[in-house]
Structures are given as C-alpha cells and as structure tokens.
Structure 1
Amino acid sequence: MARTDLRNSSRYWHDPRVPGLSCLVADFTSHDYAPHSHEAFVVAVTEAGGAEFKSRGRTDEAGTSTLLVFNPDEPHSGRMGWSPRWRYRGLYLTRPAIETLNAALGLDATAYFCRNSFHDADLIEAFLGLHRILDDGNDPFEERELLLRSFGALIRRHAAGEPRLSPPARDAQRAARVREIMRERHAEELTLEELGAAVGLTPFQLIALFKRSTGLTPHAYLTQLRLKAAITALGRGTSIAAAALDAGFYDQSALTRHFKRSYGITPLQWVQATAG
C-alpha cells in the first residue's frame, strides 16, 4: 500500500533584524536534495527523524544527535535514507550576516570548519533554541544574545585554526555600569551592541563578562528587572497589558510567559492572590 505523503513542507524567511540571515523549517517524508551549494554559511539541526547527506566524498547521517555545518560554497547533497521523516531547522548566513557576526564576536577572520557534522548536545540545544526564538520574532535582545552565544561556542569548540575570538573582559566597574544602564532604561529597546559600546566591549565580550559577574546572561538579568517593574505596576492596580508594555515586554503574552517561568504562576493569578 502506498504511503500518503502528509509531511512534505518547508517555510523559509529572512530575519529583518539581521541583514543576510535567513531561516528554514522543513518537514520532509520524500524529498531528496541533489548536489548543490550555498553562498551562505549553513547550520542545520534535526528535530525529528533524520536523513543521509554526502559531502567531501563521504556519506554521514543527519539525526537528532548531529549538528550539520557547511562552509559557504561547499557542495553537499541529501536524501531521506533510513528514516520515513526528516524535520529540521536551518540557518543561512550570507556575507552581510557573517560580517556582523565577526564584528560582534571580535573575530579577526571568518571561521572555517574542516568537518560537516558535530556530535555536541549543548550546541544542538543552543541552535534549536536560537531558531525557535527567531521563529517567534518577539524578543530582539534575546535573539541577538542567543545568536552570539551559539555561534561563539561553535567557533570556539570546532572551527579550524583556533580563530582568535576577543578575550573576555574582567572589569567589575564595566559590569556595574551595564547593570546601572539596564536599571535606568529597562523599558527601552536596548541592544547588546549599544550596551557593549557604552563600556568599550564587543557584544560577545559583554555576554561573557555579565555571565561571570552576575551568574545570568544580559537577557536574563534584563528580564528580571522588567518582571520586578511589572510587579510594582500591578501592585498599583495597572492592567496586565499596560504593566507589560510599561516594563519593556513586547506584549502581555511575553510578560505572562516569563512571569510563569520565573514564579510558577501567571500575572493574573498573582493579581488575584494579592487582591485581598
């Protein structure tokens, strides 16, 4: 009996906040890729099932335990192979995005990879998380932070020739200054580039410094400031929607998501519990 092909779809879009960055979500049951190449740097991670790919004269598997990386203009092909399904997410960085990434990471040269597959569970989760956040498109600060953290880790661990990433800063005064800016301007649309420039750091250096000095990433710290501001507003009787926007969240649903993640209850439950 012939199998009905219910999953053979793909969705491709350009990220408006990072020129040269595109994303793909694909769900295939029968598709095969002929030999081809991209002018972009490609990272792909499987969510379900898997496939076979061929590159550099060898065949390997693209499963949930494998991160795929292809340098620009590197030929490769793919086929369904052993699995009846392949659902994966891909990131494509053309020259403008690569240059943006190099500047933010403090790289003196573009990274090159001598292998196409890496069995690195932390990186797989990092790139899946990055892609899903880009798909949501509701938090530019978190998007940029995850972009730099995931690619920074990939390059540090697996790029050829040990490319020179800018060393992390160890300056308590700089960290304190960034925290002060965040406290004063938490409701604004802050960026890692802006915060780093204020203390003479690249965005990647800022992330490393902040994590070491506070135990949190810049986005996590900023989220906590915004949650505290929202709670203060809710305590004054401000509506949940207004409290979310006044605190700097994208919308009420963003506040609810972070509120529940941090406190285990929704803003509405908090309001109801404190009403008496």
Structure 2
Amino acid sequence: MPDAASNSAPSAPVFGKQGGELLYVQVSDFVREKIYSKDWGVDEPIPSEHELMDMLHLSRGTVQKGVRQLVDEGLLVQQRGRGTFVVQPVMARPSSNRLLSFGESMGHQGIDFTTRVIECEVRAAGPLCAENLQIELGSDYLYLSRVRYVRKRAVMFIESHLNLGVCPGLEGADFTREGLFAAVQRTSGHEIGRSEMVYTARTAGKVRGGHLECDEHAPVLELDQLVRLDDGTPFEWGSVWLPANRCVISNETRRA
C-alpha cells in the first residue's frame, strides 16, 4: 500500500544562493525547463507574476528579472493586458528530398515574408570561394546578403557567393521581389539540381546578431550549403543563419 507521501503533489522548487547562482537566473532556469519539458506549451500563457511569486516564494523583482531574461532570449513574449506567452517559432523549414529555397518553402506554407538586401556586389574570388564555385582565382562572383522577415521579425540572414560565369546578369536582379532560385534559372537557362548541406550550432556574434536582432551570444543554427544546377555546376556557396528560437526544421520519413 503506497504511503501518503507518494500521493502528495510535487513540492515547490526551493531556491537559494548556494553555488553562487543568482536567484533570477534560477527563475529563468525553472521557467525554461517548464517550456523545454513541454509542461508549458507554445502559444499558452505561463503563470502570472503573482502566481510565480507564490509558487517560487520569491520577490516580484526577482521573478520579473528572471522572466525578462527569457523574453530577451526569445522564449517568451509579453502582451499588454494578456500576460506572458511561450513563443511559437514564426516559420518552419521542412527537410525532405525535394529541394526548395527558404523563400519557396515559406511560400508553400502560406507564410508571408519580406526581404531586405544588405549587400549585393561583384567581388574577386579568393581561394575558398574559387574552390567551391569551381571558378578561377580572382574571377568575378556576386556576393549577396539578405535578411528575411516574417511578421516584422528577422527569421534568417542569408549570405550567398554566386557564380556569375553560369548566371550572366544575375547582379541586376531585384532580390527584394525575385527569389534567388528563380533568378538563377532565368539567367542560367538551367533548372536547379541538387544541394549539399551541413548544419552547425553557433552563437550569433555581433554582426549576424545585429542583422537577426538578437543578442550576440544567442544560439543560432548555421546551414552551410553548396547548390548546383541540373548539369552539376555549382552556382551558390554560402550560409543561412537561423535564430534557434524562431525557426524549426521538420522532416517526414517512411520506413521501407
């Protein structure tokens, strides 16, 4: 027969200054764990400040500071008059055998987005660029960097090194209106073939954090990719930087 203690509700977490960890950091860790363990779901309100104060036996200032840290991280959003909610990532990137650009992927999902071009200039290829695009050292290529926004939030920073030898006139495209793959197909006369991708966890850094409107120490996912035309010629070598709290990558697999 189970004893009374086994049927009792879980005890409230106990916070203290042991280990040198600040109390508000412990609050952040507690709330973050509730989100990561899916106790508190996406788009749902977390307990109010007063409820958290009662639950954690801490002052309002400590609770506010701990919650604010998660708002700054992008895990929570505060809505005036409604409360504090767990953030829903603003876009999803399906991973499958079908090659789509990020713009095409969002279009297929019915996600409205805007594009801001940061840089679009012809440069001379250095050793790495020449090797990846299979062009001569010092020959012209197009460097293109863009930020994509969904609901006025930056969801990706894209850096592309583009092979002008197979896409003549690509530098004249309006990339705020025309997708890169569409422009490449138009200027090259070829279809998009295949891509090779590597995903790496990073911290944003000052430059990319600035473009993505996140802290320089915030976690981001870097997608390094080499994309080829249907004849195997590489036309794009670059990276896509995704804020970890705003994007998800989904995949569907079937067992043979």
Relative contact order, CA 8 A, sep 6+: which one is greater? 2
The structure number with the bigger radius of gyration is 2
Please indicate the TM-score interval, normalised by the length of the shorter structure. under 0.3
Structure with the largest fraction of strand: 2
State the TM-score, normalized to the length of structure 2.
0.23
